[in-house]
């Protein structure tokens, strides 16, 4: 079966001017703040809303950090948890690969933002050989069932793949290398991963195809223009929360 490429279908030319970008971002952030207060029971119905988990994956230098920063900027730090995941530690490797993610998941009325996630098993661990083929092949169904279990308990899961072109990524790498305040963001591993982009693209395409399900849809964000990407992320989270609360019969005009 020929796999339909979701990455090649993304329009990376999408962009926003400075004024429009700032206006839409401010509007989306204000909208998100109100929704977050609804979820936490601070306004509107005095009950806790469903847990909200926002998952970020993407290319190196694709703008995950910048998007996360804008997403959580309007929120009280007590109302959101940001968790970043790198390679598993020696102790974490002794457990099932999903084990280390449980402690950061939000409870009712809570919100968590994950900078990389359980999808590492079918991305970097697959491509770099840190997981056997049997392990990463099995992981697609394990992840889908994991997310379905969380959703059945009430969690709202919003997943992003931040997508940038090879040319834009190279430009950002070079910019980081030339800036003393940003060189820490660039590692030898980033350059090495870039050389294997074709292998990673295959892994990403299969991930998007096999783990996109009703309880955990993927949104592929065009990221060559940072303003567009940041606005798209905040607006998408707002849309997802509004749709879920509307499905539950919440009156968002209250408060």
52-58/156-163 β-pairing: parallel
Query: In this structure, is residue 65 part of a structural domain?
Result: yes
- Does residue 5 lie in a domain region? no
Number of independent structural domains in the chain: 1
Note down the domain range covering 137.
18-248
Residue 237 falls inside a structural domain: yes
81: in domain: yes
User: 2 lies in a domain?
Assistant: no
Instruction: For residue 24, give every residue at least 6 positions away whose Cβ sits within 8 Å of its Cβ, in sequence order, or none.
Output: 16, 231, 235
- Asked if residue 11 is part of any domain, the answer here is no
pLDDT, residue 29, reads 98
How far apart (Å, rounded) are the C-alpha atoms in residues 169 and 172?
Answer: 5
Give CA 141 to chain center in angstroms: 19
- Rounded to an integer, the average pLDDT of 32-47 is 93
* pTM confidence score: 0.95
Q: HSE (CB half, 13 Å, CA atoms) of 161?
A: 25
Q: Is residue 25 situated within a structural domain? A: yes
Q: Residue 118: is its pLDDT beyond 80?
A: yes
Over residues 169-227, the pLDDT tens digits come to: 999 999 999 999 999 988 888 898 889 999 999 999 999 999 999 999 999 999 999 99
Q: How far apart are CA 174 and CA 101, in angstroms?
A: 33
Provide the pLDDT for residue 53.
98
Give the whole-number percent of the chain exceeding pLDDT 70.
98
Residue 100 has a CB neighbour count (10 Å cut-off) of 16
Residue 1 forms part of a structural domain: no
Distance CA 94, CA 217 (A): 30
Q: How confident is the model at residue 3 (pLDDT cuts 50, 70, 90)?
A: low
Q: How many CA atoms lie within 13 A of 29 on its CB side?
A: 18
Give pLDDT tens digits for 66-95.
Answer: 999 999 999 999 999 999 999 999 999 999
Question: At 89, which CATH number?
Answer: 3.40.50.300
């Amino acid at each position: 079966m020929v796999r339909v490429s979701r990455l090649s279908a993304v329009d990376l030319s999408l962009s926003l001017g400075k004024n429009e970008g700032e206006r839409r971002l401010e509007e989306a952030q204000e909208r998100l703040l109100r929704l977050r207060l609804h979820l936490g029971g601070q306004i509107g119905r005095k009950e806790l809303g469903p847990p909200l988990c926002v998952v970020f994956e993407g290319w190196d230098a694709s703008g995950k950090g910048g998007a996360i920063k804008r997403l959580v900027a309007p929120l009280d730090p007590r109302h959101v948890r940001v968790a970043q995941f790198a390679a598993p530690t020696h102790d974490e490797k002794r457990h099932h690969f999903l084990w280390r993610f449980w402690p950061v998941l939000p409870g009712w009325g809570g919100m968590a933002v994950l900078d990389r996630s359980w999808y590492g098993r079918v991305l970097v661990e697959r491509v770099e050989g840190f997981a056997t083929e049997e392990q990463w092949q099995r992981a697609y169904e394990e992840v889908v069932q994991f997310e379905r279990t969380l959703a059945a308990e009430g969690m709202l899961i919003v997943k992003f793949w931040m997508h940038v072109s090879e040319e834009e990524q190279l430009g950002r790498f070079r910019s980081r290398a030339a800036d003393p305040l940003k060189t820490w963001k660039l590692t030898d591993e980033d350059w090495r991963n870039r050389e294997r982009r074709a292998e990673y693209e295959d892994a990403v395409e299969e991930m998007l195809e096999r783990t996109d399900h009703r309880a955990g849809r993927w949104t592929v964000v065009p990221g060559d223009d940072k303003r567009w990407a940041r606005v798209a992320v905040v607006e998408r989270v707002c849309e997802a929360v509004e749709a879920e609360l509307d499905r539950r019969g919440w009156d968002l005009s209250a408060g």
